[in-house]
Structure 1
Amino acid sequence: MKKQTIKKSLSGLLALAMLLALAACGQQSQQTQTPSQSQQTQAPDNSQETQAPEPSQTEDGDPSEEPEGGKTLVVYYSATGSTEAVAGYIADALGADTFEIVSAEPYTSEDLDWTNADSRVSREHDDESLRDVPLTTAEVENWEDYDTVFIGYPIWWGIAAWPTDSFVSANDFTGKTVIPFCTSSSSGLGESGELLAELAGAGEWLEGQRFRSSVTQADVTDWVNGLGLNG
C-alpha cells in the first residue's frame, strides 16, 4: 500500500511540474509577442516627410505663375474695318494677341462723314476738348507680359484717330517697344506716331508704317518680316 501511495504522489508531482512548465512557456510566448505588436501600432508615418514638396510650397514660388514676358500685342482702333484687317495680318504673321479699342459711343457712318461740317468727327476736330473719347475699356489683361506693342489707327486730319489717344494715355508703356501703323486712302503717317509717343511719355517708339485701305496680307507680312521680330 505504501509503494502505491508513493507512486501516485510522484505521478502527481510530475504532472504538476509539467503544468507549471507549460504555463511558464505560454506566459513567455505572450511577453515576446507584445513588443512587436506595440512597435507596429506606434511607428510614425514618414510618408509626408519623404514626399517632395509641391512647386507652390518652395520659397521661389510656382514658376508657372510668373509673368511670361516677351509677348507681342497688336492694339488697334478701326472705324470702318480697314485697320482691323491690317491688325489681323500682323497678328497672324507674329502669332500675336490682339486688343481692339472700342469707343463707348460707337461712331456711325454719319458721324464719320468728314465732309459734313456738323458731323461728329467734324465737331470733334474743330473743338479739341471733344476728343477725349471714353472707351468701353482701356485695360489689357496681363499688359505687363507684352514687350512689343503694335498700335494701329486710321488717320483723321493728319493725326491718329482720337480714340487711340484715350488708350495710350491710360496705359504705361515703360519698357515696351511700340510700333505704330495706320491706314488711310491718301494721307501719310505724318506726325501721328511722334504725337502718340509724346502722349505716352514712355517706351521705345519706332518708326511706323502707313498702309492703304486695300493693302494685301502679303504686303503687310513682308513689312512685319522686315522688322526682325520673328526671332
Structure 2
Amino acid sequence: MSKLLVAYFSAEGTTRKLAEKLAKGINADLFEIKPEMPYTKEDLNWQDSKSRSSVEMNDRGCRPAIHSKVEDMSGYKTVFVGFPIWWYREPSVIDTFMEAYDFCGKTVIPFATSGGSGLGGTAANMAALTSGARIADGKRFTANATEKELLDWAAEWI
C-alpha cells in the first residue's frame, strides 16, 4: 500500500478534479469522503440559513455520517485532505473524517478549493480533532489550478 493518501470531499466536483490530479501526480491512493446523505443543490445554498450546509456549519458539533471508510489508515504516513471552503473553514463532514481515524504520527495536509475565501482556522480546527498528528497550514487553490501548481506545492511534503 502507498504511504500517501489523498482523501477528499467534493460537493460539486471542483475538489474532486484537483484531488484526482494530485493523487495521480504524487502516486497516492485516492479516497472520496462521501456523506451518507449526498448534498443537493438546495442543501448547498449558503444564502439560506435553513439549508443543510448552513445548519451544519452553525453547529460546531455536527458530524454528518460518512458512507465508507479507509480500509487501513495505518498504512499511510502522509494524508492530504481536500475539501471546498465553507464559511472560512472545512465542512463538518471533514470533522467526521478527522475524528474517525488515528492520525497519531502522521502528517495531515489540508488543501481546499475556493474562489476567494482562505482556509481561516482550518488547520487549528483539524488539529483539535486529532491527537499526535502534524497538521500543516495547507493551501487554497482555485478551480483552475494547474497540475504543476499542485505538484510543486505537494513536493514540499513528500
TM-score over 0.5 for the pair: yes
Compare relative contact order (CA 8 Å, sep 6+) and give the higher one, 1 or 2.
Answer: 2
Question: Could you say which residue in structure 2 is the equivalent of 1:162?
Answer: 92
Question: Could you say which residue in structure 2 is the equivalent of 1:120?
Answer: 52
Match for residue 222 of structure 1 among 132, 145, 152: 152
Question: Could you say which residue in structure 1 is the equivalent of 2:81?
Answer: 151
SS, match of residue 127 in structure 2: helix
| Whole-Å separation in 2 of the counterparts to 1:121 and 1:192 | 17
Contact kept, 8 Å, 1:181 with 1:211, in 2: the verdict is yes
| Whole-Å separation in 2 of the counterparts to 1:133 and 1:197 | 19
Gap regions ≥5 residues in structure 2: none
Task: Give the residue type in structure 1 aligned to 2:4.
Answer: T
| Whole-Å separation in 2 of the counterparts to 1:71 and 1:195 | 24
Gap regions ≥5 residues in structure 1: 1-67
Question: Could you say which residue in structure 1 is the equivalent of 2:66?
Answer: 135
Shift, 1:175, TM fit:
1.4
Task: Give the residue type in structure 1 aligned to 2:7.
Answer: V
Match for residue 104 of structure 1 among 36, 43, 47: 36
SS, match of residue 89 in structure 1: helix
> Greater helix percent: which structure?
1
RMSD: 1.6
Aligned positions of 1:49-198 closer than 5 A: 71-129=3-61, 131-137=62-68, 139-198=69-128
| Whole-Å separation in 2 of the counterparts to 1:222 and 1:123 | 36
Question: Could you say which residue in structure 1 is the equivalent of 2:142?
Answer: 212
Q: What do residues 108-135 of structure 1 show as CA deviations (whole Å, max 9, x unaligned)?
A: 1111011122211122233445x22011
SS, match of residue 156 in structure 1: coil
Percent sequence identity over aligned pairs: 41
**Residues matched between the structures, number:** 158
Contact kept, 8 Å, 1:169 with 1:199, in 2: the verdict is yes
| Whole-Å separation in 2 of the counterparts to 1:143 and 1:119 | 33
Provide TM-score, normalisation by structure 1. Answer: 0.64
Question: Could you say which residue in structure 2 is the equivalent of 1:14?
Answer: none
Question: Could you say which residue in structure 2 is the equivalent of 1:62?
Answer: none
**Runs of 4+ in structure 1 over 4 Å off:** none
Shift, 1:228, TM fit:
5.2
Change (3 A) 1:193 1:118: same
Shift, 1:222, TM fit:
2.0
Provide TM-score, normalisation by structure 2. Answer: 0.92
